Amino acid sequence: MSGFSVLLKKEWRENSRNFKVLWIPIAFIIFGILEPVTNHFLPEIMKSVGNMPEGADFQWPEFKGEDIFSSLLGQYQFIGILIIVLAFMGSISGERKNGTATLLYVRPLSYGHYFLSKWLVTNGVVLGSVWLGILAAWYYIEILFNHVDAWEVFAFIATYSIWIVFVVTVVLALSAWLPTGGAAGLAIFATLIFQIIDSLIGTYWTVSPWKVAIYATYWFQPNADMSDLWMSIIITVLFIIVLIIFGSSMAKRNASKTTV
């Protein structure tokens, strides 16, 4: 177990000294605040800038606080996930490529511990960022829109977190398997592009990790059917476990590809 805590410490130092523990939360918080603020002030700003033809009375849709969570989710599902993929695509492949992994791999290392240490710290950074971002958005929603039930918000956050853990696990497993470029490409496909594919042709199935984010917003709808959500969560957790095992064994198999 001593080896595991050493690796955890190493990962934490890496993420704090390359400022990831700072800039990723700030980025997610900024996006979290921007969503309610722009939605609230956009009508006024448009009016004051005065680009509208004289007499045109534009009817802006009346947003409720719950809708803002959904539109924030839309932001996170694109730019947030892009940040996660790009920030962590080289977590393992980068260490192999630049040769820093060599002095780890010559030691009696458990590759399970090696992968899990990265998985835990990366999830810590990313989940912390997502939570702070959503909480910041919630604060602004309470001020600028309406009161949203706390249990609904927490259920939303908890459900969305499972999807985020899935994304992190995909990125790390691919980084263990492929060189950084390939890992990034495939991770963007598996998390961003497959969402679209899943929403297009996935109407035939209702249980899928790629639907967990949408299902998270169901908590804001009083009469939504939650049965698909639970099955999707179970499937996602299974995917995560399989990907952790896959990532650990790929890290081990590819250890000989480290630059000596």
Partner 1 sequence: MTQLLQVVDLTKKYGSTKVVDTVSFELEEHTSTALIGPNGSGKTTTLSMLAGLVPQTSGTLQFQSTARQDIQSIIGFLPQYPKFFSWLSALEFTEMAARLSGVETRKAVMEAKKTLEFVGLGDSLSKKTGTFSGGMKQRLGLAQAIVHKPKLILLDEPVSALDPVGRRQVMNLLKEIQQETTILYSTHILNDAEEMTDQLLFLRQGKLVEQGSLDDVRSRYAEPRIIIEFEKEQELQRFTEMAPWHVSANGLTVAIDVLTEGVGMPAIIALLHGQSFLVRKIERQTASLEEIFMKVAVI
Partner 2 sequence: MSELATIPWNLIMPLLVLQLILMIVALVDVIRHQRTNGPFIMWIFIIVLGNLIGPIVYFIFGRRQA
- Is 92 one of the binding residues for partner 1 (CB under 8 A)? no
- How many residues line the site for partner 1 (CB under 8 A)? 26
Give dist(CA 121, CA 10) in Å, integer: 10
Task: Kindly provide the b/e burial profile for residues 227-247, where b requires at least 16 CB atoms within 10 angstroms of the residue's own CB.
Answer: ebbeebbebbeeebeebbebb
Q: Out of partner 2, partner 1, none, which partner does residue 109 contact, by CB within 5 to 8 A per kind?
A: partner 1
Give me the least distance between CB of 192 and partner 2, in Å please.
15
CB of 200 to partner 2, least distance (A): 29
Considering the complex, what minimum distance in angstroms separates the CB of residue 95 from partner 2? 9
Interface positions, 12-41, toward partner 1 (CB under 8 A): 13-14, 17-18
Q: Is 9 in the site for partner 1 (CB under 8 A)?
A: yes
Tell me how far apart the alpha carbons of residues 212 and 235 are, in angstroms, rounded to a whole number.
Answer: 10
By C-beta, is 20 or 211 nearer to partner 1? 20
The residues near 163 (Cβ < 8 Å, ≥ 6 apart) are 209, 212, 213, 216, 236
> Could you please report the per-residue DSSP string of 30-85?
HHHHHHHHHHHHHHHHHHHHT-SPTT---------HHHHHHHHHHHIIIIIHHHHH
Residue 259 binding partner per list partner 1, partner 2, none, with a CB distance cut-off of 5 to 8 Å that depends on partner kind: partner 1
With respect to partner 2, which residue has the nearer C-beta, 30 or 234? 30
Positions in 195-254 near partner 1 (CB under 8 A): none
Note the Cα 213 to chain centre separation in Å: 10
Task: Name the CA radius of gyration of the chain, rounded.
Answer: 21
Closest to partner 2 by CB, 139 vs 205, is: 139
- Residues in the site for partner 1, rule: CB under 8 A? 2-3, 6-7, 9-10, 13-14, 17-18, 98-100, 102-109, 255-256, 258-260
